[in-house]
Amino acid sequence: MHRLFLGVSTGTLQTQYMNVRTRALCAFTIPWGDIAGGFLIGYFLDNQRMSIKQRARWSWIGLMVLNLALWTWTAIVTKQLEDEQPVIDWTSGGLFGKTFILFVLFDLATMATQTSLYWIISQMSDDFIALSYMTGTLRGVECAGQAVAYGIKSSNTTDWLSIGMNVGLIIFSLPFAWIVIRKIGVVEFEKISFSHFVYEEKTADEKSIDEKEPA
């Protein structure tokens, strides 16, 4: 949930404070952060030298710390941009470096977080239909949240609203995420199976039919 306002926030900062050629440079180079994030988290989650339990917990801790740190950095940069009202060019030196690196790291964190979410779901079930439902639900929530985020940013709202909502959503989600994370890789973790529910429903229906039939 905490990722929903990410693209909107970074895109708004680029539109407000960067000139055209710098935004074009960002559009061309920043997506490489996505590629790097996918490879890095994929390498870590596939590392067989660590248990599944360790991979799940350390990746979750690392990503949550990274996301909170990036939003703190965003708050600092936003305050500086609001005070100075610059027009950033790629020749602007330190100011360009601060914003550009922030945007690259945000894309890296976004892809790493999204990849880890799908990896966590894969640990919760090995049933193809159940996985389809869960991944579809996750993607649906992401799309709905992004629609809400763009709606908010299209109105006359401050950049601090997005920052506050993202930080708030991260903190709010931590205890609920931990309920799931702590079960990953644990022996007694019961995996979700769609076929199990289908079997139970079918058994209940057959029992109901048997009860209705006359003796």
Give tens-digit pLDDT for 114-133: 899 999 888 887 777 888 88
More confident residue, 191 or 76: 76
Q: Which of helix, strand or coil describes residue 138? A: helix
CA distance linking residue 203 with residue 147, whole number of Å:
41
Residue 200's pLDDT is 54
Does the residue 17 lie in any domain?
yes
Does the residue 202 lie in any domain?
yes
Check: CB of residue 99 under 8 Å from CB of residue 77.
Answer: yes
More confident residue, 143 or 114: 114
What is the residue-averaged pLDDT of the chain? 82
Does the residue 16 lie in any domain?
yes
Give percent of the chain with pLDDT exceeding 90.
Answer: 32
- The number of domains in the chain is 1
Does the residue 1 lie in any domain?
no
Long-range contacts: 46-55, Cβ < 8 Å, 24+?
51/185, 52/123, 52/184, 52/185, 53/184, 53/185, 53/186, 54/185, 55/185
Residue 142's pLDDT is 80
**Mean pLDDT, range 188-207, rounded to an integer:** 57
- Domain of 94 in residue numbering reads as 6-212
Check: CB of residue 69 under 8 Å from CB of residue 61.
Answer: no
Does the residue 118 lie in any domain?
yes
CA distance linking residue 212 with residue 67, whole number of Å:
57
Is the pLDDT score of 214 beyond 80?
Answer: no
CA distance linking residue 116 with residue 20, whole number of Å:
34
Give percent of the chain with pLDDT exceeding 70.
Answer: 81
Is the pLDDT score of 147 beyond 90?
Answer: no
Here the CATH number for the domain that contains residue 54 is 1.20.1250
Is the pLDDT score of 172 beyond 80?
Answer: yes
Give tens-digit pLDDT for 15-58: 888 899 999 998 899 889 999 999 999 999 999 999 999 999 99
Residue 1's pLDDT is 47
Task: Tabulate helix, strand, coil % of the chain (nearest 5).
Answer: 80, 0, 20
